[in-house]
Amino acid sequence: MDMTTTLTGSNFEKFLPKGWDIRRIKECVSNPPESVFDPQPFWNKDFRPICCTNLEEFGVYMGHEIAMQIRLAKEEGRELILILPVGPMGMYKWVVYFLKEWNVDCGHVHGFNMDEWSDAEGNTVPASDPAAFQNAMVNALYGPLGELTVPEAQRNFATRENLPLYPEKITELKARGAKQVLIFGIGRACHIAFWEPHFALDYNSRQEWLNAAYRIGANLHPLTIEQNAITSFRSSWPLIPCYANTVGPAIIFNSDYIIGGADGVLSRGMQWQGMSFWMTLRYGPDIHITSSFIPTLPGKLFFMEELAGPLRPDTN
């Protein structure tokens, strides 16, 4: 007896994102942990999962990978487009550390924050709000970099006014030879940025979905609200906006290289990200599961060892 045999007629059936096949998800999470590195037919030949045994190692690995992309672009004389998340966050202090050790400045870097909390009309929380992604990015990366930092004119945040300008700005940079690197986490509902599973219902084809560049005032899935209650708001729903501005597949999946992180472990055997992690690696590209397209791109997905499982209660 499990969800596959009891879903029909349940309240959870109404809650489950449409397009999600619970039997297929069960197959994804039933893989043995050691098979996590096994390439799948839909994986890019240059995509690799990288295992981390603790959170400090996770932050160092990710931070080094990001800093190295900044350094390489500098050495190549190229501009660099960074699509930036607020979560995971531990890598940013290491980005700062490595760039300062190498004395590499970010004058060639253009930062594009992938999302921001908003209301239904796309009005965002004030930049000074402790919960604002803009505030978090300034405090974690732009500020600590000091004189090596990204110029203010090259920092982009997902406001109602600026987000619609992202496609044009990115296109102009790429026309000049800029490289685009996506840095990301994976949501409980398998979102990248805040591109949610139910958005797929608004598009007539995969290509139309892939061509979507952004959403203003995107309606967030309940799983996303609960994830953020756990990870960022100390369990408190009332503090969390129900909408966000977000980049879409046309920006996310047109990146030249990706650096991802899955660190959703808690304590005492509890975690929230194992299922999302395995769905990303095994489900296969499906517009109802945004992160399922991640392995089709070259790059690295760093993950906490515990997320590989086995995902069973008798293994705690």
DSSP secondary structure letters along 63-130: HHHHHHHHHHHHHHT--EEEEE-SSS-THHHHHHHHHHHHT---TTEEEEE-EEEE-TT-PBPPTTST
User: Is 25 among the domain residues?
Assistant: no
Q: Angle at Cα 267 formed by Cα 277 and Cα 289, nearest 5°?
A: 20
User: Is 275 among the domain residues?
Assistant: yes
Phi, psi of 273 (to 5 degrees): -115, -5
Q: Compute the residue count for the chain.
A: 316
Domain residues for the domain of 241 are 78-305
**Contact 300/18 with Cβ under 8 angstroms?**
no
Beta strands at 47-52 and 299-304: parallel, antiparallel or unpaired: parallel
- Tens place of pLDDT per residue across the chain (316 aa): 999 999 999 999 999 999 999 999 999 999 999 999 999 999 999 999 999 999 999 999 999 999 999 999 999 999 999 999 999 999 999 999 999 999 999 999 999 999 999 999 999 999 999 999 999 999 999 999 999 999 999 999 999 999 999 999 999 999 999 999 999 999 999 999 999 999 999 999 999 999 999 999 999 999 999 999 999 999 999 999 999 999 999 999 999 999 999 999 998 889 999 999 999 999 999 999 999 999 999 999 999 999 999 998 876 5
301 vs 262: CA distance, rounded Å: 7
47 vs 86: CA distance, rounded Å: 23
217 vs 119: CA distance, rounded Å: 6
Structure tokens at 182: 């996506």
Task: Report the pLDDT value the prediction gives residue 314, as an integer from 0 to 100.
Answer: 73
Task: Report the pLDDT value the prediction gives residue 313, as an integer from 0 to 100.
Answer: 81
User: Is 24 among the domain residues?
Assistant: no
| Interaxial angle between packed helices 91-102 and 55-76, expressed in degrees from 0 to 180 and rounded to the nearest 10 | 40
Task: Report the pLDDT value the prediction gives residue 316, as an integer from 0 to 100.
Answer: 54
DSSP string, 282-302: HS-SBTTBGGGGGGGSSEEEE
Name the amino acid, one letter, at 250: A
pTM, entire model: 0.97
User: Is 146 among the domain residues?
Assistant: yes
User: Is 50 among the domain residues?
Assistant: no
- Please give the tally of structural domains in the chain: 1
CATH of the domain at 97: 3.40.50.1360
Task: Report the pLDDT value the prediction gives residue 165, as an integer from 0 to 100.
Answer: 98
User: Is 6 among the domain residues?
Assistant: no
User: Is 42 among the domain residues?
Assistant: no
* 35 Cβ contact list (under 8 Å, min separation 6): none
User: Is 9 among the domain residues?
Assistant: no
**Contact 259/299 with Cβ under 8 angstroms?**
yes
